[in-house]
A and B are shown apart, each in its own frame.
Chain A
Amino acid sequence: MKARLLTLLAFLTLFIVKAQSPEEKGIQIAKEAEKADLGFNSSIAELKMTLKNKNGQTSERSLTTRTLELTEDGDKSLIVFNSPKDVKGTSTLTFTHKVGSDDQWLYLPSIKRVKRISSNNKSGPFVGSEFAYEDLSSQEVEKYTYKFLKENNSILTVEQDPVDPKSGYTRRIVSYNKSKGYRIEKIQFYDRKNALLKTLSYSDYKQYKNKFWRAGVLKMVNHQSNKETILSFSDYNFDAELSEDDFSQVALQRAGN
């Protein structure tokens, strides 16, 4: 009788584990990925953006990005354009929120104007690139609903559906690498008609401070327009010890001068 009970208990336990729904497993993976990146505090990186049209002609932009990690609400970021020279110093300050629209300010150095801008147009391209604003904003767990799809060796594939109806996507298929701190290897974006729109591949990963994985190269290919954009990150600095003071509107103007 006792043995029977134990078998039943073992079976039940197995059932419960098995019973974790794909939705639960999906969100669990997203949370693991978030946890693995917790505690970087702040970072500064140089970014070179190469835009390639369907004929292979390229144009470049260079930017400096500063990020401040916040746990209670979304991260803060400050992006400064260094080239092309006619837009040098143009900067954006973004306060991402886990729920609701982000707050965003734009600094125009030629007339020294700080302008609050709408973050509503998230599906629009960032400076003519294949990256939409929503692809570059802080990836908070709360911004998607999840569905675990499959596990292949250490690669976990999760479908993510944006919560915000203003998103340009119906879903994203994200590949996490479980053995490398749940870093993202690839994202496929499906447009509003549920057709494959873009693929983003992460490469040249480096681990900083024995914990934080950062890709050196992000390549976004648009399958519908045949255009692509490559982001190359360099000079990652996790020791700058930035604080909220470095993400004020006064700091925004200072960064753009």
Chain B
Amino acid sequence: MRHRSRWAVNTIAAVFCLVWIFPVYWMVNTAFKPRPEVMTATPHFVPYHPTLSNFVNAVTQENFLVNLRNSVVVVALTVLASIVLGIFAAAALSRFRFPGRRTIMVVILAVQMLPGTALLIPMFVMFNSLDLLGTYAALVLAYVATVLPFSIWVMRGFFVAIPAEIEEAAQLDGATTWGVLTRVLFPLVAPGVISTGIFAFIAAWNDYLFAYTFMQDQSRYTLPVWLASFTNPHTGTDFGGQMAASVLFSIPVVVFFLIIQRNLVAGMSAGAVKG
């Protein structure tokens, strides 16, 4: 009986894997097909004449490099800001008791549950009057708003896990508050910093809505908007190029996900990302 049921369960697993990986497979498959093979009456399940020309076309597009630079700058600033600001706030919220602590945590959590438009609309109006639309500052501020609360919450989880005895031992040895933080606590939450950085990277790298609304010019867009701009209802979409671009765009995120995989699966990262 065991043998039969094992076989049945494995079959279900195999079918599930095939179905669930298919969209990703189809993206990669299309990316390596020469143009005439992309549009065929009977789809080719492997490229008959594999080529890199779609990738070359994608990265030699007029705006690719400048949009890539925009993405890199904005993402780097967001990651940096959310780690530096987040680690101190997380330390305060985990290692100290003070009035208003609970209120602050509720605000931090509540902000993340807001619909995107609840920040998008007022920020658009504010940045319009401050002449910030189309600048890196506009995007970084929007991303910090969405990422920082989460960073604080995640890093707080790592601080909470450190036994108080370690801190007290350092204090008995004469360490100052600053010394305890930088010499004892911060090194211990290093894995939390890495997870937080990766989550911040993913959130900022993937954002479409804010970049699309705030940047308003092809040369100022970031990569997600660039990716969507392959879609052209009038001249027809270059699907080969778009799929190649999608592969390039997704690779860093997938790699990061696989790196923090153990954390994700064990729930140790205290965090969850939804695409």
Q: Do A and B come from one complex?
A: no
* A-binding residues in B (CB < 8 A): none
